[in-house]
Amino acid sequence: MKIGLYGGTFSPPHNGHVRFAKLFVEKAALDKLYIMPAGIPPHKEADSWGTPQARLEMSRLAFGSFAVVSDYEICQPGKSYTYKTLLQLRRIYPKDALYVLVGEDMFLSLDTWKCPEILFSAATIVCMHRGTDMREHVEAAGTAYKRRYGGNIIYLEEAPLAVSSTQIRQMCAAGQDISALVPAPVAAYIKQNGLYRYE
Ligand code: ATP
């Protein structure tokens, strides 16, 4: 059995996230994918653009047709730490079953995450290239992680969509059309709820 975990702020989820999530399911031959919007993301500024509930709802709209969108981290008190979520999943699934997807920007900072040794021992880390010029750094970081923590790392080479949530929030704030960059129900939700009108 193969179980994937893809966490993020998802403020908002965009077509790049959806594409990566689908590729993750396909390339890692997952039986189930958990999408995990972070409650309070440890690496980001306070979420001033959308409540956790809005991010959860938009994640359901974006990923719900092919993945399980979990409110586990959003319901936890304090900051969201992936190692804690993994330990929770380990209560249900065996170690070899778990795969965690991270974009290469996140991959480069994995050893600054809380309890990296648990991350690497509890799951296989799947790093998706985002088409940036970070490849050399990514490979060097992967070698260093393996030396320090052991564990398994898989690299997926897929042409990414050049889109970020930051860009979408900025476009919304500028009154621009985001419909080509996010799933249609997410665009409708943002419009209906007047999200991201002020960056
Ligand atoms: P922000 O612009 O607010 O920093 P983001 O677009 O990077 O947000 P996150 O929610 O922080 O989105 O990302 C969650 C995960 O998705 C991270 O591992 C990140 O590397 C990855 N990711 C984000 N955008 C893309 C993209 N266009 N293609 C592939 N992976 C992406």
Q: For the chain, give the number of residues.
A: 199
Cα gap 125→99, rounded to integer Å: 6
- What are the E-state strand segments in 72-135? 98-103, 124-128
Residue 107, classed as helix, strand or coil, is helix
Amino acid in position 137: H
Which atom number of ligand 1 is nearest to the Cα of residue 38? 10
Which atom number of ligand 1 is nearest to the Cα of residue 41? 11
| DSSP code at position 194 | T
Mutation test residue for ligand 1: of 113, 156, 165, the one with most atoms within 8 Å of CB: 165
Give me the chain's average pLDDT, please. Answer: 91
Q: Which range has the worst mean pLDDT, 8-17, 56-65, 107-116, 153-162? A: 153-162
**pTM for this predicted structure:** 0.92
How many CB atoms are closer than 10 A to CB 173?
13
Residue 7, classed as helix, strand or coil, is strand
pLDDT at 91: 95
The rounded radius of gyration (Å) of the Cα atoms in the chain is 16
**Residue 9 CA to its chain's centroid (Å):** 7
